[in-house]
Amino acid sequence: MYQLGGGFYIGNGDFVVRYNWNDGSWFVPLRVRLGEAWILPDKTWNAYVEYGTAAQISDWTGPIANHTVRINVQFQLPVGL
């Protein structure tokens, strides 16, 4: 993650490489996330938008999405509360 200032950040999204043992095919995703975090003394809010596509598809035999968009909002409480 790279902090842009003012609570905004940019970074990679979820990165799960898939390999099919049966036929030797690969699927490598590429995801980019842009978000903002509001860090308060007793809680944290985090919201982001993530765009994903395939960085490499090597004879992948299963279904895959060419483009994905994820919108997420998280509410977090510190462990000490």
User: Which pLDDT tens digit goes with each residue over 45-54?
Assistant: 999 999 998 8
Q: Kindly indicate the confidence band of residue 62, based on its pLDDT and cuts at 50, 70 and 90.
A: confident
pLDDT digits (tens, 9 = 90+) for 1-38: 899 999 999 999 888 888 889 888 888 889 999 999 99
pTM of the model: 0.77
Segments forming the whole domain that contains residue 24: 2-76
Scanning the structure block, which residue is given the tokens 């590429």? 30
Say if 6 falls within a structural domain: yes
Token reading at 43: 């809680």
Token reading at 46: 């985090």
Say if 58 falls within a structural domain: yes
Instruction: Specify the number of domains making up the chain.
Output: 1
pLDDT value of position 11: 94
Say if 81 falls within a structural domain: no
